[in-house]
Amino acid sequence: MKFVKILALTAFAIVGSTAVASAGDAANGEKVFKKCVACHSAEPGKNKVGPSLAGVFGEACGHVEGYKFGAGYLAACEKGFSVDEAFLVDYLKDPSAKLSEIAGSKQRSKMTFKLNKDAEIADVIEYLKTL
Q: Where are the domains of the chain?
A: 2-130
Q: In angstroms, what CA-CA distances link 56 with 15, 17, 80, 111?
A: 27, 25, 15, 16
CATH number of the domain at 2-130, out of 3.30.230.70, 1.10.760.10, 1.10.300.10, 3.30.70.580? 1.10.760.10
Cβ distance 54 to 36 under 8 Å? Answer: no
- Confidence label for 23 from pLDDT (cuts 50, 70 and 90): confident
97 has pLDDT over 60: yes
Each residue's pLDDT tens digit, 46-56 = 999 999 999 99
Each residue's pLDDT tens digit, 104-116 = 999 999 999 999 9
Tell me the three state secondary structure of residue 112.
coil
pTM given for the model: 0.80
DSSP string, 51-89: ---TT-TTPBTT--TT----HHHHHHHHH--B-SHHHHH
